[in-house]
Amino acid sequence: MAQIQTIGILTSGGDAPGMNAAIRAVTRTAIYNGIRVMGIKRGYYGLVYNEIEEFTSKSVSNIIQQGGTILKTARCKEFTTAEGRHKAYENMRAAGIDALVVIGGDGSLSGARIFAEEYDIAIVGLPGTIDNDLGGTDRTIGYDTALNTIVEAVDKIRDTATSHERLFLVEVMGHMAGYLALNGAIASGAEAAIIPEMETEIDQLADLVNRGFRKSKNSAIVLVAENPTTGGAMGLAQRIKEEFPEYDARVTILGHLQRGGSPTAADRILASRMGAQAITALREGQRNVMIGIKNGELVYVPFSKATQHHPIPNHDDMEIVKMLSI
């Protein structure tokens, strides 16, 4: 197999704190190993429309602490078409790129898998998403920072919830996965987490009300994972109004606040380790794998596993929220 001489790097999908730390690690590890780096702007859009520029070590100076992504990001419709991917391939070859490092979530890695299958190119993925919803990895880059942002916000909401003796439904992101809601609830001492994974098992709202969560307190905070099917926190607030009018519920949607901010040390370290490993993987001849982390060890996860298997948050952790909120 021919030695890789030039890599392209892009960030795609929703941004996540720590993406910059990953860009820095990939770039500097590549240069350290004599590999050229081309930065591709706006995710796959930059490949399709040829927004590609060479990166030096200086291009990634002073970014480890910054949220967002210096490469910009996008969700690119053109890349979902065969014609768009063909243009992307031509631009990639014209720029002399032999391999790609793609940092993003399941949509971005699914795009990478299709592209790699069609054009026989080496692609290594890094799990960049606040949702923590990729298969084969215990953690994704950005999740820890988002979790800490949620905890900080809930701590503040609790002050007013306690003063007014109200029920607050705090909606967090997650893209149909309940990690942020569940672990956000544990970390902020919330009374409950309502997550999409449990939706078909029980009526989580009725369960919460029926177990008398206000017996020992006059306020409550419930972390609700966003859920377009049920309407998330707004949908639940409507149900409370109709079914449990004795409660005075308020809704706070944390929204894109959760995607911003300086990455935590944990995210910077994870991104740096994974970024360096992406170059090791390419030098070892690995392709079409995402770098994951399992029990503290970096592992290679085939794209098919990373994108198809969504691990279910632990039922025991749901029990912990319940037990600790009595």
- The 99-104 sheet, strands edge to edge: 52-55, 36-40, 6-11, 99-104, 122-127, 289-294, 297-302
Cβ proximity of 105 and 131 under 8 Å: yes
Residue 256 C-beta: closest distance to ligand F6P, Å: 6
**Residue (176 or 320) nearer to ligand F6P, CB:** 176
Chain positions contacting ligand F6P, by CB under 6 A? 14, 105, 129-131, 173-175, 226, 259
Radius of gyration (Cα) for the chain, nearest Å? 21
In the bound state with ligand F6P, the residue whose beta carbon lies nearer, of 18 and 105, is: 105
Instruction: Describe the crossing of helices 106-119 and 82-94 by its angle, rounded to 10 degrees.
Output: 70
Going from the C-alpha of 1 to that of each of 191, 272, 282, 323, the distances in angstroms are: 56, 27, 11, 56
Alpha-carbon dihedral angle through residues 172, 175, 178, 182, given to the nearest 10 degrees: -30
CB of 225 to ligand F6P, least distance (A): 9
Output 59 or 73, the one with its CB closest to ligand F6P. Answer: 73
Q: How are beta strands 289-294 and 297-302 bridged, if at all?
A: antiparallel
Give min distance, CB of 133 to ligand F6P, in A: 8
List the beta strands (DSSP E) in 50-121. Answer: 52-55, 99-104
Q: From CA 281, how far away is CA 298, in angstroms rounded?
A: 11
The C-alpha atoms of residue 64 and residue 269 are separated, in whole angstroms, by 10
Output 124 or 146, the one with its CB closest to ligand F6P: 146
Q: Using the minimum distance from each CB to ligand F6P, give the nearer residue, 129 or 307.
A: 129
Distance in Å, CB of 267 to ligand F6P, minimum: 15
Active-site residue identified among 15, 98, 106, 131: 131
Residue 131 annotated among the catalytic residues of the structure:
yes
CB 131 to ligand F6P: min, Å: 5
Q: Which residues are catalytic?
A: 131
